[in-house]
Amino acid sequence: MSSLRVLLADDHALVRAGMRALLGELPGIEVVAETESVRRALVAGAAGYLLKNSDRRELELALRAVARGDAWLSPSLTKRVVATYTQGANPDAVLTPRQREVLQLVAEGHSNKEIASRLNVALKTVETHRTELMERLGIHGVAGLVRYAIQVGLVRPEF
């Protein structure tokens, strides 16, 4: 494999440090920068996206694909990305009904505790839904979720 320049993108510094260490063990790989904004990295020209739960084998496959000039997307994301692309910004194409409901409540400004009470579920369940929403949509933080909810028409901006 020829020399490959890598940008690490994750909102957790510890995850980035671990990835930097792992990539440092692979020949021909140079980590050139780190960032917290995954979406910005892709827009800026990043050629691949791996989920945190990807194994070492998938990492190697992704690196080889990118080195060939191909793009790489974790297989578990492919269905969602294709659905989003073919359906436009339709949250029903990418989100479960419960995730859509949680997203709407988050975007309306409700706390996790309020959402749990309103949906009659455990607080941990709401936290899990929010984490899955962010991972599924490639969004980090409540502000990003709110922007997405406005873009797809789940809520209207209040001025």
What pLDDT digit, counting tens, does each position of 45-82 carry? 778 888 878 888 888 898 888 888 888 888 777 666 66
Which of 73, 91, 108 is at the close of a domain? 73
Task: Using the structure block, give the residue that is written with the tokens 């892709």.
Answer: 42
How many domains does the chain fold into?
Answer: 2
Half-sphere exposure of 63 (CA within 13 A, CB side): 24
Instruction: Report the distance separating Cα 24 and Cα 29, nearest Å.
Output: 7
Do 101 and 46 share a structural domain?
no
pLDDT digits (tens, 9 = 90+) for 80-92: 666 555 555 566 5
User: What is the pTM (predicted TM-score) of this model?
Assistant: 0.48
Q: Which of 107, 112, 83 is nearest to 95 (CA)?
A: 83
Instruction: Report the distance separating Cα 125 and Cα 130, nearest Å.
Output: 9
**Dihedral sign (CA 12, 145, 125, 87):** negative
Domain with 37 in it: 4-73
Do 80 and 69 share a structural domain?
no
